[in-house]
Amino acid sequence: MKKLTQQFWTLVVVCIIFGVFIGKMDTSPNWDDTGITVGAILFITFLTGAILKEYAWLWALIVGGCVFGFNLVLRNSYASAIAVVIAFAGAYMGVVFRKMVS
């Protein structure tokens, strides 16, 4: 089994923080800007996917799951399940970018 590094745990914390922030922002009463929400999800998952590509699936699940979870709990809405798909797209775009660069 692969040893989990400090970089791994740092990225877990970063994804949780950004996931909670994006989820909270997306469920705010006066927030209605899907483009910024999608851009933020893509940005953070792209970066984390490029930094530690072996766990791109985890970064997508953490960030997308936080956004979906907030919407499910606070708005009782399943519509934001697409956030998980967007997060996977961002994370694996980061992986592809890293492979192209190196």
Return per-residue pLDDT of the chain as tens, 102 residues. 577 889 999 999 999 999 999 999 999 989 889 999 999 999 999 999 999 999 999 999 999 999 999 999 999 989 999 999 999 999 999 999 999 998
Identify whether 16 is part of a domain.
no
Structurally, the chain folds into a number of domains equal to 1
pLDDT at 31: 86
pLDDT at 1: 53
Percent pLDDT > 70 in the chain is 98
Identify whether 1 is part of a domain.
no
Identify whether 2 is part of a domain.
no
Tell me: the pLDDT tens digits for 13-42? Answer: 999 999 999 999 999 989 889 999 999 999
Per-residue CA distances from 4 to 10, 29, 50, 76 (Å): 11, 39, 17, 35
Domain coverage including residue 53: 34-101
Identify whether 40 is part of a domain.
yes
Which residue in the block uniquely carries the two structure tokens 């492979």? 99
Identify whether 75 is part of a domain.
yes
Burial class (CB in 10 A: 0-12, 13-18, 19+), 41: buried
